[in-house]
Structure 1
Amino acid sequence: MEQQVNEAVVATRAALTQASAMAVQYSFSILGAVVLLLLGWFLSRILHGWALNGLKHVRGIDTTLAHFFANALRYAILILVFVTVLGQFGVQTASIIAALGAAGLAIGLALQGTLQNIAAGIMLLVLRPFRVGEYIQTKDVSGTITEVGLFATEMKTSDGLYLLAPNSTLWNTPVTNFSRERIRKHDLEVTVPGDRDIDDEMARLLAIAREDPMIESVPAPQVFVDSLSDSAATLKLRYWVSTPQWFKITRDMNRRVRIAFGQKVAGPEPDAAPAG
């Protein structure tokens, strides 16, 4: 009986010693985990601010893109700190990383269209084929850019309507930007009867363009015979104007030439009306 009591006492002491050792060990682990989490949180905030400020000073980096990269850096640090904390408690982090990778792959497959829009949004923000305030046209949409986001681009049509276009549709198609260049060309056609002197009519048409101070002198306006028949000749006036004033000046030139020649004039109407 006395032997059994002694064995129980020894076992109890051993259990208490082991429990004390485990308590001390896990206390330090818990304390270290808390400290590591706090340091990781502060470090992520500091690096987030540095990255954001640094990217904002990089030429060509959009504010939306700067926030995206800065947030990606912050969350990457937090995930790394969390995995490190789990390793403090003896958790096999390799399996966790593998699980996170598998989960990321599954989410990527499920959100394939969304991720495609994000990738297209990043490319649009980096390469900037268009900016806010510019008028663009694609095969499917046209309008003035009001905002370029990571998922979609907001536009305002020439009719004053709101248009939301997924970024993937704007990245995977040719885009015509009517506002990017400083000047734009306009061709204006006039039909002259065959009994008139073509040289005189060409000089008169060219004088109308040269008298307008809003028309660019370089490149200089040009007049040439575009087509010729027995009964008439088609003259074409080619001139360049400032892009923001293109729509107004071309409409005014159409009116002035019509009055001068007493007829309707032809010219390519813009698919995208105002360039500004």
Structure 2
Amino acid sequence: MRAQMPALEYLAFNLIVAIVTLVVGWALSSLAGRGVRKLAGRSARVDPTIVPMLYTVTVWSIRVFVLIAVLARFGVQTASIITVLGAAGLAIGLALQGTLQNIAAGIMLLALRPLRAGEYISVVGKGDGTVAEVGLFLTRLIQFDGVHLTLPNSLVWNNPIINYSRNATRRLDVEVAVRYGDDLELALRELAALIESHQYVLPTPKPEVMVIDYRESTTIVNMRVWVASANYWTLRFDLYRNAMQALARAGLKMPIPVSEIHAAVPIVEASK
């Protein structure tokens, strides 16, 4: 019994040290991750999109070393640990090919940067929204109605991405219908005055008002302007609201669909 006490004391000592190492290492990994995220957020050279991945890599790199140190405390050989991790990594890699594809796709998204945090994008056929985060496995978007949309990185990478925010300016086309019989030239002048006086319409490229189509009872006039990307939707809503009001003040009436119905009237011969 007495011979067993030193071994039990040694085991208890190692267990306490291992627990302390694990707790402290886990806490330090979280602290280091937050520090990296804070420093990266302050630097103008670091893209905000890459910050979540830097945080994850920092945290789990430290935690892996902590786990190895804990196992080594109990006499497990480091070489055998690396061998086991290699074999386990190969098995897990074969079993989780989709997950590895997400990691690879996340790295490609961060390296080539077709999207960045804060930009409004559309993943064609999958969803659209403002980029909130590109993580190690998932990309998170915030849709215009405030709903969070989470997509696997591989799904984002393997589909066309339309980025609406990358350029500083965007072209806006607003169509207005003018009735046949109304003064078309007057309508063109009123719409031109409307867009030229709007504070969000950029002078270059020059705004245009043009006839683009003829339909059953109306002529379609297009207002083509350029606007800063941040003001796109505000200008779009303003032009749609004010265009018909401007035409109404000029004496032009709102176009109403008109259909002509021709009915054949039977001819009745007079009785003899």
Which range, TM-score by smaller chain? 0.5 to 0.7
Alignment of 1:79-118 (within 5 A): 79-82=67-70, 84-85=72-73, 89=75, 92-118=77-103
What amino acid maps onto 2:238 in structure 1?
I
Q: What is residue 240 of structure 2 aligned with on the other side? A: 251
The counterpart of 1:69, out of the listed 43, 48, 57, is 57
Aligned twin of 2:192: 206
Counterpart selection for 1:217 from 188, 203, 212: 203
Larger Rg: 1
Kept after mapping to 2: 8 A contact 1:154/1:165: yes
State the 1:68 CA deviation.
Answer: 0.7
Asked whether the 8 Å contact 2:213–2:220 carries over to 1, the reply is: yes
Instruction: Quote how far apart the aligned CAs of 1:106 are.
Output: 1.1
User: What SS does the aligned partner of 1:140 have?
Assistant: coil
Normalized against structure 2, the TM-score is what? 0.61
- Which runs of 5 or more structure 1 residues have no equivalent in the other structure? 1-19, 265-276
Structure with bigger helix share is: 1
Q: String of CA shifts for 1:202-259, please: whole Å, max 9, x gaps.
A: 554422211223323344313456589xxx9876432123235144224225434664
Q: CA deviation at 1:112?
A: 1.8
Partner amino acid for 1:112?
Answer: Q
CA distance in 2, matches of 1:100, 1:166: 26
Give me the identity figure in percent.
29
Residues 210/61 of structure 1: CA separation in 2 closer, same or farther (3 Å cut):
closer
Q: In structure 2, do the counterparts of structure 1 residues 27 and 41 end up closer, same or farther at CA, with 3 Å as the change threshold?
A: same
Asked if 1:60 corresponds to 2:47, the answer is yes
Q: Is the 8 A contact 2:22 2:67 kept in 1?
A: no
* Alignment TM-score, normalising by the size of structure 1: 0.61
Of 178-187 and 119-128, more deviation after overlay is shown by 119-128
Whole-angstrom CA distance in 1 between matches of 2:239 and 2:116: 24
1:49 pairs with 31, 42, 45, which one? Answer: 31
Q: Deviations over 1:65-120 (max 9, x none)?
A: 3431222222232144245435xx4x554333222111111112212222323443
Distance (whole Å) between structure 2 residues aligned to residue 27 and residue 158 of structure 1: 62
Assess if the C-alpha contact under 8 Å between 1:131 and 1:145 holds in 2.
yes
| Counterpart code for 2:35 | N
Mapped contact 1:130–1:177 kept (Cα < 8 A): no
Q: Distance in 1 between matches of 2:244 and 2:179?
A: 20
Tell me, yes or no, if structure 1 residue 137 matches structure 2 residue 122: yes
* Equivalent residue letter for 1:239: V
